Amino acid sequence: MKPTVEVFNATTEELLQSVEVPSVFIDQLAALMGWSKPEDFCFGYDLSPQQIKIIEEWTRTTLDGDNRIIQIVCLE
């Protein structure tokens, strides 16, 4: 399982960026997202500004910007 943040253009829905969350942050990610069951990892979720800021720190990547949809999904 690879938790991945996907950033889309809100107008065109084009994928602009994809960033994997490092595996060392899996437990912190589960707490941040409020995930308590294994199946919680299986869905896509919109991220709040606070969640985005924390994940940016973990990944050392800028995700936020104008006209963006930012979601997290778990890929296998």
Cα angle at 59 between 56 and 65, to 5 degrees? 35
Rg of the chain, C-alpha, whole Å: 12
Domain count, the chain: 1
CATH code, domain carrying 46: 3.10.50.20
Tens of pLDDT, residues 16-62: 999 999 999 999 999 999 999 888 888 899 999 999 999 999 999 99
pTM, two decimals, is 0.88
- 71: containing domain: 2-75
